[in-house]
Amino acid sequence: MRIAIVGAGALGLYYGAMLQRGGNEVRFLLRRDYDAIRAGGLKVFSTGGNFHLKEVAGFRRPEEIGEVDLVVVGLKAFANDRCAELIAPLVDAETLILTLQNGLGNEEGLAALFGPARVLGGVAFLCSNRGAPGEVHHLGAGKILLGALIPENGERAKMVAALFRSAGIDCTAVADLQKARWEKLVWNIPFNGICAVTGRTVADILGSDCGRRLARELMAEVMAAANAQGLSEPVPEEFADQMITFSAGLGPYRPSMMIDREEGQPLELDAIFAVPLERGAARGVPMPRVETLLGLLSLAVQGANEGTA
| Residues designated as active site | 184
Beta bridge partners of 53: 42
Phi and psi for 170 in degrees, rounded to 5?
-70, 105
Identify which of 263, 5, 253 has the alpha carbon closest to the alpha carbon of residue 129: 253
Q: Virtual CA dihedral for 90, 166, 182, 266, nearest 10 degrees?
A: -50
What Rg value do the Cα atoms of the chain yield, rounded? Answer: 19
